[in-house]
Amino acid sequence: MSRIGKKPIPIPEKVKVEIASGFITITGPRGELSKEYNSSISVIEKDGNIYCTPNNNLRRTRECFGLSRTIISNMVIGVTSGFQKYLDLVGVGYRSQMDGESLIINVGYSHPVILGPTPGITMKVEKNTTILIEGIDKEIVGKIASKIRAVRPPEPYKGKGIRYRNEYIKRKAGKAGKK
């Protein structure tokens, strides 16, 4: 049994939880999230907590047990405080800017890369080399951050590219000089 799955999920005061057949909807101060959960997992609300329990002992159920609990916990955290990811642009001339709702990134290509708005996600540019992505759904925040990082992933020789804040890039030695 999953140790994570056994933990109860505390429900803060301002959060409202609705559990219907196979769906859970969580409403809080920052918005509303709704997800479908696996039918082999039972989700109940009791005494200000949410509990997940497996319906059987199959391998697939055990795999989904801890995952379901973590997804529901992330939903509760998202509607109360939200999630954010920072991306740093490292390289000479690398910069970004906002044009209305669109993000424009200049990272050494012959053209700027333009990323349109995503519903439920807020993008901000701090300085010219830091991008902040905020939202209530952890999955979407991570997808948008990885999509932006994929425009110019960090390379191992000079370390140039778009990286997550506090991401460590293992550096390689360049060519050996001629003797």
37-54, pLDDT tens digit by residue? 888 888 888 888 988 888
Hey, what CATH class is 83-164 in? alpha beta
- Dist. CA 58–CA 79, nearest whole Å: 32
Q: Is 47 exposed, middle or buried (0-12, 13-18, 19+ CB in 10 A)?
A: exposed
Q: Is the pLDDT of residue 13 over 80?
A: yes
Question: What does the pLDDT look like over 157-171, one tens digit per residue?
Answer: 888 999 999 888 888
Average pLDDT in the 147-160 region? 90
Query: What per-residue confidence (pLDDT) applies to 178?
Result: 61
Neighbours of 54 (CB within 10 A): 19
Say what the pLDDT of residue 3 is: 78
**What percent of the chain lies above the pLDDT cut of 90?**
37
Say how far apart CA 111 and CA 58 lie, in whole Å: 52
Which residues fall within 8 angstroms of residue 175, CB to CB, at 6 or more apart?
A: none
Over residues 92-107, the pLDDT tens digits come to 889 999 988 899 999 8
Q: Note whether 133 and 140 are within 8 A (CB).
A: no
- 179 pLDDT higher than 70: no
- pLDDT tens figures, 58-89: 888 888 888 888 999 999 999 999 999 999 99
Q: Band of the pLDDT at 141, cuts 50, 70, 90?
A: very high
Choose the CATH number for 3-80 among 3.40.50.2300, 2.60.40.10, 3.90.930.12, 3.40.630.30.
3.90.930.12
- Going by the DSSP 8-state scheme, the letter that residue 116 receives in this structure is -
Query: Please, what is the average pLDDT of the chain?
Result: 88
Task: Give the pair of three-digit tokens for residue 59.
Answer: 């391998």
* H helical segments located in 3-137: 3-6, 59-80
**Topology match between the domains 3-80 and 83-164:** yes
> What is the rounded CA–CA span in Å between residue 51 and residue 48?
10
Whether the per-residue pLDDT at 4 is higher than 90: the answer is no
pLDDT of residue 144: 92
* Domain ranges, ordered by start, for the chain: 3-80, 83-164
8 in helix, strand or coil?
A: coil
Beta bridge pairs of residue 51: 44
- Six token digits for residue 3: 């140790």
